[in-house]
Each structure stands twice: as structure tokens, then as C-alpha cells.
Structure 1
């Protein structure tokens, strides 16, 4: 609907006859063209729409559809309508359409199972409660659907798999794509490999701004989502098409995957941790914020390239600062530097 409206506004053509008895894409174009006429009228009325060449049957059908979509509003006069601000109305309608699309994708396999039984074909699908996923886009669609349908929790652990990268790209294109209901427990863990991705950093920033818990970890084996009583496993890191990836709603595997995510969360490092304010003077060292971030990233096993991107300095500067920090902490390895700093309460 929104795409049709944009097309009609951007490239108006001779509308031709307004035939209400059309279906599919033609119906969407018909409704969109009526919407554009209504916007042009400012305060559309049946008389005004007639003047634009519409017949009564077309007016009744199109205005009824536009009211149902929230693009027009009824008034006390049954032959007159108000036009709410299009930017807000189209955005609300698009949100509803995206939700319906996510629901449709999430239930497609169950509907096909019903169809197979109805036509007498033996189902070839997995048992009820287990759905195998094929390909990056299908996996991403199911991750989005799980976010939209969850009410109590969404725990998302991302490795640097093709599906995880594609998910972050889509979220960067549509920032509200992973919206969850208010009050849900949202946790996000990203593999340190993703810290070199602009899309990942943008998502981290939005998640933290929304009050969600964010952490990083090194060597995440595969992307996992736990949402309410469902879980999803993405194996595209091991096979580009993700053969073996699945969504499950069976109790035992969901509980097992929940335990796995809890373990990863417990081992992960909170993103962008800083110095504790209650340190005593002899425990403090005069670290600038940049060095605090370097230490925090060292605990995750991040590379110098990733740390340089995160702190906005060159790789050579990171190497010098890491060596300085290691010397002052009296440690032999980068990871020990992060651990020692954490033990002293510096990060």
C-alpha cells in the first residue's frame, strides 16, 4: 500500500477508468490512486471524488478500505472524510502490514502441513513444534517474527554468520525491525568479530538507548535466539545456506538452548564498561576514557583493528597503548591485562 502511494505521487499518469472490481496488485493501485485524490482534495467528500471521475461504487469501496487502513477517518457526515497526516498514517499502516507479514512467515509451515493433510499427501515436515529453516532470508525473517511476537523475553546471541550479518544490515535499513513489547527482558550478546561492523555498532547504540542489556563475547559458536517459549538456531556460519538451522517450540530443546544462552551471557563482557566510582585513591590510575575502553575490549579478545575502530585511533596507537597498559599492570598477555584490570575494579 505505501509503495503504491509513493509511486502514484511520484509519477502521476492518466488514471483511466476507476474500476472497483479488481484484485491483487491492481486493487492496491486502485485504492492508492483514490487515496492520492483524497489527499489532493484536502477535505474529501463524495461529491469531490465524483468530480474526479469516480463512480459511487468505487467511492464506497475505496473509502471503506482506506478507513480500515487508518488512511482516512470518518466524520459525522457519511459522505465526507478527514485525512490524517499521511507520514504518520502510512507509517502506522506499514507497521501493521509488517506484523502481518511476520506472522504469515512464522506460520507458513504449519499451514502447509494442513494443506498436505487436506489433499492426502503425507507430510514431509518435521514434527509439530520443530521447523527447519533454509537460507539466510528465511532465518532472518523468523528472528524478526520472534522479536515481534515475544512478550516476556528476547535473548539474542549473534556470531558473525551470514544470517547474523544480514539481520544487522536489515535492522540498519529499518531501525524498528526488532522492536519488542514494553517490559520484555531483552539481552543482546555479539561476537567481537561484529564490532568491526558499522551496522552492528548502530544496533548496539539503539539497544543501549532503549535500556536493553548489551554484552560482547569472543568465539560464539552460532547465533541463538530465545524468545518466550521458542528458540532459534542459525547455522549459516557452518554452511552458507544454514542447513540444519531450525526454530523449535518443544520444551526440552528450548530449555537446553536457554541454558546455553545463560552461560554465554555469564561469560560475556558488558559493552563499554567504565571505571567504578567507589574506588579508593590508591586503587585508581589516571586512565583516560580511551584507555578504559581499550581495557574493556581486551577482556573480550577483540583485535587491535576492532579496538582501533571502536576508539577512533590508529592501529599503531592501539598497539602502543596496549603495551603501556600491560607494563603498568605487570602482565604478559593482552587477555591478562583485561582480566587484571577487571579484578582491580578499573573496568
Structure 2
């Protein structure tokens, strides 16, 4: 990061930890050949990161880190400050231009899978506060595993709200990615169906992928700038989000209830509309285990039917409530599965 490569950095770090070192001693420390250690020491000396020992010119001592890297660090900091000022200036120019866009300029067209993939990555890398997304199959442009821009954005604190179509839970590989995304800090919910694929960044710009063509070159999307259309897309997202089922993977908020992580994941998948058999497959457990766990959840909630379990799960705060419609959806989803468990025992 400060102008030295990996080997030079390792050598300098080793030299800092030693009072002084001859090439042979540094080579032993680094696990490399003496000739290579001598070469690296010569490079460090040229860069001002090392100097000959006064008592023995065959030995080297490290230059003080604050002296060696202080100037370079200050230069990088100044460059970053200038870059931030330039970015702020460009952003203001962009916003002013956006405000003056005509009707025909509200929407841009992205043509081709490579261009769409690049735009998705750039928007996520540039996100400041929030990303909202509709995700529905098929996932063709960029998979969750390859979407490193998403991981980077989440790691630096960007809030992701991702709404999944229930069909995304049908693939075991997708479900593993869903668990991982939730555990990384993303907020996930599941809807029975979604009208379109969508990505909204900072409520300022959106991408609406078009129906994919067998010809990858003709795959494209709409890039929607600030406008009434963008406001409508945001409102659509919020409406679908409010009635969707939340994905919960951990029993951290269930202390004292006897509910564990597996119970929570079973209930999450059942409320999302999966069958007992599908839940067992996703969680790599047996159908009997799923049914036994559901029966235990019913006992904990002191209910006799799955319909009551769905109602009580919302009423007891096992899953955050977002309105009456979500309670109705949960109750119907849980009650629809397994007549044997739906009957009183």
C-alpha cells in the first residue's frame, strides 16, 4: 500500500524486529536464499527503508517506520483528500445535470451482459448508505458467489435490503448463499412472487434488467435516474417489502424460549411457503426431524395446530411484525403443510 511489494514488506518487518542483520540472518528469518535476502536489502537501502550499520557495513538496520513511511503516508492522505474534493465536485455537477434531464434522458439503456455486469458492480462499489434489490430466478448475469462488489459494500457498512422470490429457495446452492448473506449483515425477506428484477442504490439510481435473451449479446437493462419513475420503483419495493416474510437464521433473540438455530431456520422456511420435505432437504436433515421440531415449536407456543403456530409466532414476537397482512400470510403458510401436524394431538 505504501510503495513496497509483499517480499519487501516482509523483509522490512523482519528487519524492524531485529537490532541489525546480515543477509544470511535475514535469509534465515524469511526462509529464503541468502542471495535473495541480499537483493531485497539492497532494494530497501535504495528506498531509504534500511541503512548500513555504523559498526559493521556488512550488516543492515531498519530505518524508523515513522521516518521511512511518514512522508509517503502523508502524500497518500493528501491525494485522498484531493480525490474526495474532486468526487464531491463531480457529484454536484452530476446532480445538477440530472435535475435538468428531459423526459427522454430519464432512462438510459445498457446493452449486453458484460456492460450490465460492470454497471451492477460499479453501482454497488459506489453505494454510500443503502442498496435495495428484488432477486428472482433465473440468476444469469452475476451469481451471489461472484458478486464480490456486494460483499465489499456490506463490509464497509452499506445496508442491504434484499427481497427474494420464493423460487430462489428451491435450489440448495442458493439457500446456502442466502444464509451466508444474512449472517454477513444483509436484511432478507421472501415474497411468493416478484414483478421484476430490480436494484436501487441510495434511492438515486436504479437498474431494471430486461428479459434475458438466448443471445447474451442482446441482454440488457434500463438505468433509471432520479425521476417520478424512480420514485415509483422505490414505492413498489417498499410495498412488496412490507408484506414479505423475514429471513431469520439465528436464535439469538429467543433467549429463554428453548428455541435454537435449527428451529428458527425451519420456521423461517415454512413461513416462506416450503414443504416439510423441501425444508429437510435445505437444512440437510430428515423429514422426521423437521416434523418433530415443528411439533416441539407448537408445544412451546402452546398451540394445537400449525395455523395457531403461525399466529403465535407473530404474536409472541418470534419474527418482527410489519402489519396485519404479514400475520395472515404466515398463518396460511404454516397451516397449509402436513395435515398430520395440523390436527390436534
TM-score (normalised: structure 1): 0.51
Taking a change above 3 Å as real, the CA distance of residues 159 and 150 of structure 1, as seen in their structure-2 partners, is same
Alignment of 1:198-217 (within 5 A): 198=173, 201-202=176-177, 204-209=179-184, 211-217=185-191
Say if 1:204 and 1:214, in contact at 8 Å, map to a contact too: no
d(CA) in 2 for partners of 1:221, 1:303:
23
Give the equivalent residue in structure 2 for 1:31.
none
In the TM superposition, residue 167 of structure 1 has moved relative to its aligned partner by 2.7
Give structure 1 stretches of 5+ with no counterpart. 6-37, 49-72, 85-125
Deviations 1:22-48 (A, max 9, x none): xxxxxxxxxxxxxxxx99931454999
Q: What's the offset of the Cα at 1:151?
A: 1.3
Q: What does residue 99 of structure 1 align with?
A: none
Using a 3 Å threshold, how does the CA distance of structure 1 residues 300 and 339 change in structure 2: closer, same or farther?
A: farther
**Which of 170, 176, 182 does residue 146 from structure 2 map onto?**
170
1:252 Cα offset (Å): 1.4
Establish whether residue 189 from structure 1 lines up as the match of residue 187 from structure 2.
no
**Partners of 1:291 and 1:240 in 2: CA distance:** 44
1:302 aligns with 2:274: yes
Structural mapping, 1:1-347, within 5 Å: 41-45=39-43, 127-163=104-140, 166-171=142-147, 174=148, 178-179=152-153, 182-195=156-169, 196-198=171-173, 201-202=176-177, 204-209=179-184, 211-228=185-202, 229-236=204-211, 241=216, 245-272=221-248, 274=251, 277=254, 289-304=261-276, 306-315=278-287, 317-318=289-290, 328-331=303-306, 338-347=310-319
Q: Check whether the contact 1:224–1:231 (CA below 8 A) recurs between aligned residues.
A: yes
8 Å contact 2:124–2:153 — kept in the other structure? yes
CA offset digits 1:79-123 (Å, max 9, x no partner): xxx9x9xxxxxxxxxxxxxxxxxxxxxxxxxxxxxxxxxxxxxxx
**Matched positions, count:** 234
Give 1:232 shift: 0.8
1:47 and 1:292 map into 2 onto residues whose CA distance is: 60
Q: Is contact 2:145-2:177 (8 Å) kept?
A: no
Native 8 Å contact 2:41 2:50 kept in 1: no
Post-superposition Cα deviations, 1:206-230, rounded to whole Å, max 9, x if no partner, equal 4533x33232333223221110210
TM score, norm. by length of structure 2 = 0.52
Quote how far apart the aligned CAs of 1:254 are.
1.3
**CA gap 1:297/1:238 in 2 versus in 1, 3 angstroms:** farther
Q: Which deviates further from its counterpart, 317-326 or 141-150?
A: 317-326
SS in 1 for 2:274: coil
Q: Does the CA contact (< 8 Å) of 1:134 and 1:243 recur in 2? A: yes
Distance (Å, rounded) in 2 between the aligned partners of 1:324 and 1:244 = 49
Q: Is 2:191–2:244's contact at 8 Å kept on the other side of the alignment?
A: yes
Structure 1 distance, partners of 2:213, 2:175, is 21
Structure whose CA Rg is larger: 2
1:45–1:178: structure 2 CA closer, same or farther, 3 Å change rule? Answer: closer
